Chains A and B, each alone.
Chain A
Amino acid sequence: MFPAAARLAAKRAFQIRTAFHGSPKVTLASRSFSTALNYHIDSPDNNPDMPWDFSQANKERVKEILSHYPSNYKQSAVIPLLDLAQQQHGGWLPVSAMNAVAKIIEVAPIRVYEVATFYSMFNRTKVGKYHLLVCGTTPCMIRGSREIEEALLKHLGVKRNEVTKDGLFSVGEMECMGCCVNAPMITVADYSKGSEGYTYNYYEDVTPKRVIEIIEMLRRGEAPPVGTQNPLRIKSGPEGGNTTLLGEPKPPPCRDLDAC
């Protein structure tokens, strides 16, 4: 009797674990939010021999960024410069771009690699022109971010961090972006217009249906309205208008010193 009970318990424990993590196989894969491995493998479009440099317009911006820091602390500019390089290179950082940044800030390339691997917003593999980031933190997850991601992946026919065949879209996961009040939400990093027209927009209160509409609009080149996608809400206000604090609030009595 006892062994049977133990088996039952083990089975139940497994079910609980699967419910929490998805299948055990993807447990490890889903731990990593970065789009790439922590080491570099040479490929035709990503190798140290590939020439890479900032464009003429961006060179001015590099100068401007460097002017924010004392000349003996150039390395402080590593994150803004990597960001600029990523925008220029269509949303991701090839190793030669990191080397170019290292040269500008006069540090060893490994110091730049350390930063680029640390921050998951630096993509070290190719992403789509529209990089869609689904928030995966608890409030969004409770409000259905899993379904949003599933709908996106199904609609686009890709896996996470994979680019669609036309190179337009890729789906990734991001942690809390501070929009919990409008959960669930996605972010669209728009690299289609280079570093000049780069935008980074939040689409909040999305539903699996709405999110498909948004990407179809993006595909057509339209600009979906940013912010909450629930027509009944204004920004982060409550649905159907405010319910409290409708009238003029009364001043706190004790502040009216004359009345006391």
Chain B
Amino acid sequence: MGFVLRALQRARPAIGGRVSTFRWITSTPDLHKPEGAAAAEPAAPEPEIPPRTPVGGARVQFSNPDDAIEVFVDGYPVKIPKGMTVLQACEVAGVDIPRFCYHSRLSIAGNCRMCLVEVEKSPKPVASCAMPALPGMKIKTNTPVAKKAREGVMEFLLMNHPLDCPICDQGGECDLQDQSMAFGSDRGRFTEMKRSVVDKNLGPLVKTVMTRCIQCTRCVRFASEIAGVQDLGMLGRGSGEEIGTYVEKLMTSELSGNVIDICPVGALTSKPFAFKARNWELKGTESIDVTDAVGSNIRIDSRGPEVMRILPRLNEDINEEWISDKTRFCYDGLKRQRLNDPMIRGPDGRFKSVSWRDALAVVAEVIHQVKPDEIVGVAGKLSDAESMMALKDFVNRMGSNSVLCEGNGPNPQADLRSSYLMNTSIAGLEKADVFLLVGTQPRVEAPMVNARIRKTVKANQAKVAYIGPPTDINYDHQHIGTGAETLVELVEGRHPFSSTLHSAKNPVIIVGAGIFERDDKDAVFSAVETIAKNAKVVRPDWNGLNVLLLNAAQAAALDLGLVSSPNDTIPSAKFLYLMGADDISLEKLPDDAFVVYQGHHGDKSVYRANVILPASAFSEKEGTYENTEGCTQWTVPAVPTVGDARDDWKIVRALSEVAGVRLPYDSLTAIRARIKTVAPNLLQVDERELATMSFELKPPVSQKISSDPFKPAIENFYMTDSITRASKIMAQCSASLLKK
């Protein structure tokens, strides 16, 4: 039959030019009469179907064994919990259903119709994403009916979709491209004009080519459900339907970059990445993010020595499958303002490039000229655990005890891990029903934690109370105060929110790490602990007392005991070793102090430095980071380092040898063995080491709570560290999105 059709098709041009406008459509003949084809098949004995592996690691959990129902997907029986959709049942059975509008983390829209499957006894194909699976349902995913339905839907989707794949940035990772190859027809019948849609300006991060949009509304649902900004909507109707903001409005969300990932076509693509590379040219390196304390799992896509883009990686416990815009777009900062040679500041005040040997010799000479207690080492907010360990060992061997990490404030409380970690864990926040945010603005400090809180508020109607400066919170909350006096009211139970907190089943208190910088921090923490004790926030089965850290290095620094106080040490320092520390105040530093800056970016502290030692950035080294919930993760080098830069710990190790106090480790394994003796949890990669909680162990606090209101810990979300400050994209974001 097929042969005859093809022969006819060949013959057509010869028959006459008059019918040349007529287009001959071939397709598998049994598609035209699916019922007939199905009936014609001989009733062969059912072949034994081997169990298939679920799609994308789909798993089923039965909270109640009675809720299990059995459905048949292509004849293969599969047990699923009640309430699952047909599409999810197919995934468990190992059948991948094509889809555009369905996304497992968003509400179900059911408007693309790509997921049509045949269900026995149903007169029409059903949209599997919106259809609940019923017991005994016989789902067929590869019958002629289902195939024809998909082919038809695909033809309609492609009707108004431009044929610009060669110039489209989504090319190669486009759902529409892939699925039209797999499920579409080899030609279309559409001869009319395609529509065109005006592009929207969504800001410096998301590039729009709205003509490519297939109206799946994933971005609209993401913006309103997860990002919590009600900016995007579906405007118009019918063939004039389009996604837009109606009024000229930028997408001012810290998660806006994720719409690039969820867009199944090339309508929303990355503006900084536009026309830079094709996805098949890129090498993906699975690493973690260091721009905040969350440690989002990322994939660094690089081409040769250049980081081309950063994408999120699935980690249900930390970032799910989202990342913040700062994480995603800070990468251009890795190419700018880099330090690539050791440098010494000459008598004329200008830096001169020197060799490593000379630079280290100068530093070693100076360090022996100062008194041991005048030596201070400061680890920066992007430092990994290995380099902090090396710095601490080196400074200690030089006879000083002044090693600290910026951001941890004066006299950090490092005795109990529970007093500086997010004890509930990020995923655990979903079980909470009341939140008390003390001096923290999670939306700017840790957008992924904020997304979790928002998810919980949406799902469980959890109540949120916030104490701190006025800020933009994208979920329902009560702003119950700006300073510590509200805490006192809560301690004494006078505040109306106390009763809410006391009646909560799983209350969560989150204290911002900005409090660390306050002089009355011990009193604030003691007040928070009293509130926690009164409201039974910490129980054997639930630990709801959390500290939300700001920087990637903070948790590991406290674990390793970098606990000196900058207020005491900086004014008396004569030799200051800054390991990437740019946000520490150097105003009180004596003018005759010798400053060594070891780091990867020419940022704030370089202005004061006498010697510069170039180091590698997080994308270029192997390093251990501990995130705010105490989960240890590794970065993996994605690109070679620039110029003559070296890993931080190697520089300190080399310096120690030149200075005559050789550190006893020459490899990562050796330094990790040393870390194991101090903080063994830092070797348990991708695991959370739980912290034990006991208020009784803490010494009594004699401090008085001051009446100063809490200050915002982060002024500009887009620029918090040396990498993001060097980034042009982040500068554009600060200019356009933070405009008041």
A residues sitting closer than 8 Å to B (CB atoms) are 2-3, 5-6, 9-10, 13, 27-28, 31-32, 34, 37-40, 42, 48, 95, 107-111, 113-114, 117-120
Q: Given contacts A9-B21, A34-B240, is CB(A117)–CB(B235) below 8 Å? A: yes
- For residue B123, CB closer than 8 A to chain A, the reply is no
Is B247 a contact partner of A2 (Cβ separation < 8 A)?
A: no
Q: Does B40 contact A (CB under 8 A)?
A: no
Residues on B with beta carbons closer than 8 Å to the beta carbon of A40: 246-248
Q: Sample 11 A-B pairs with CB under 8 A, ordered by A number.
A: A5-B18, A6-B20, A27-B193, A38-B246, A39-B200, A39-B244, A39-B246, A95-B247, A107-B230, A108-B231, A117-B236
Closest to A98 in B: B246
For the complex formed, measure the closest distance between the CB of B111 and the CB atoms of chain A, giving whole angstroms: 14
Shortest C-beta distance, A28 to chain B (Å), equals 7
Residue of B nearest to A9 (CB): B18
Q: Which residues of A contact B200 (CB under 8 A)?
A: 39
B window 1-34: CB within 8 A of A: 16-18, 20-21
Which of A5, A31, A39, A42 has the most C-beta atoms of chain B within 10 angstroms of its own C-beta?
Answer: A39
* Chain B: CB-nearest residue to A13: B21
- A48 & B247 in contact (Cβ 8 Å cutoff): yes
Asked if residues A110 and B21 are in contact (CB atoms below 8 Å), the reply is no
Instruction: Report the minimum CB–CB distance from A82 to chain B (whole Å).
Output: 14
Min Cβ gap A188→B in Å is 24
CA gap between A259 and B675 in the complex, in Å = 107
Taking a contact as CB atoms under 8 Å apart, the answer to whether B235 and A113 are in contact is yes
Q: Known: A13-B21, A40-B246. Contact between A110 and B232, CB under 8 A?
A: yes
Residue in chain B with minimal CB distance to A120: B237
- Cross-chain contact of A111 among B230, B239, B241 (Cβ < 8 A): B230
> If the complex has contacts A5-B17, A10-B21, A40-B248, are A113 and B233 also in contact, measured as CB distance less than 8 A?
yes
Contact of B231 among A37, A95, A110 (CB under 8 A): A110
Asked whether, in the complex, the Cβ of A28 is within 8 Å of the Cβ of B193, the reply is yes
- Whether B240 and A114, one on each chain, are in contact in the complex, defined by CB atoms closer than 8 angstroms, is no
Closest to B229 in A: A108
| B245 with A110: CB separation less than 8 A | yes
Number of interface residues of B (CB under 8 A): 27
* Residue among B21, B193, B241, B246 with the highest chain A CB neighbour number at 10 A: B246
Which residue of chain B has its CB nearest to the CB of A28?
A: B193
Distance in angstroms between the alpha carbons of A117 and B236 in the assembled complex: 5
B-chain residues with CB within 8 Å of residue A120 when the two chains form the complex: 237
As a 0/1 sequence over residues 239 to 277 of chain B, the CB contacts with chain A under 8 angstroms (1 = contact) are 111101111100000000000000000000000000000
Is the pair A38, B235 in contact by a Cβ cutoff of 8 Å? Answer: yes
Which of chain A's residues has its CB closest to B223's CB?
A110
B586 at interface, CB cutoff 8 A: no
Inside 8 A of A13's CB, which chain B residues have their CB?
A: 21
Contact with A along B661-696 (1 / 0, CB 8 A): 000000000000000000000000000000000000
CA distance A114 to B220 in the complex (A): 11
Question: Residue among A39, A110, A118 with the most chain B CB within 10 A?
Answer: A110
Min CB distance A80 to B, Å, is: 19
How long is the Cα–Cα vector from A32 to B239 in the complex, in angstroms?
A: 9
**Interchain CB contact under 8 A, A114 and B235:** yes
Using Cβ atoms and an 8 Å threshold, which residues of chain B touch A107? 230
Report the Cα distance A39→B231, complex, angstroms: 13
A28→B196 CA distance, assembly (Å): 10
Which single residue of chain B is at the shortest CB-CB distance from A3? B17
Distance A195 CA – B241 CA, assembled complex (angstroms): 30
Note all chain A residues with C-beta closer than 8 A to B232.
110
Q: Which residues of B contact A110 (CB under 8 A)?
A: 230-233, 245-246
Please give me the residue from chain A that is nearest to B246 by CB atom: A113
A200 CB to closest chain B CB, in angstroms?
Answer: 21
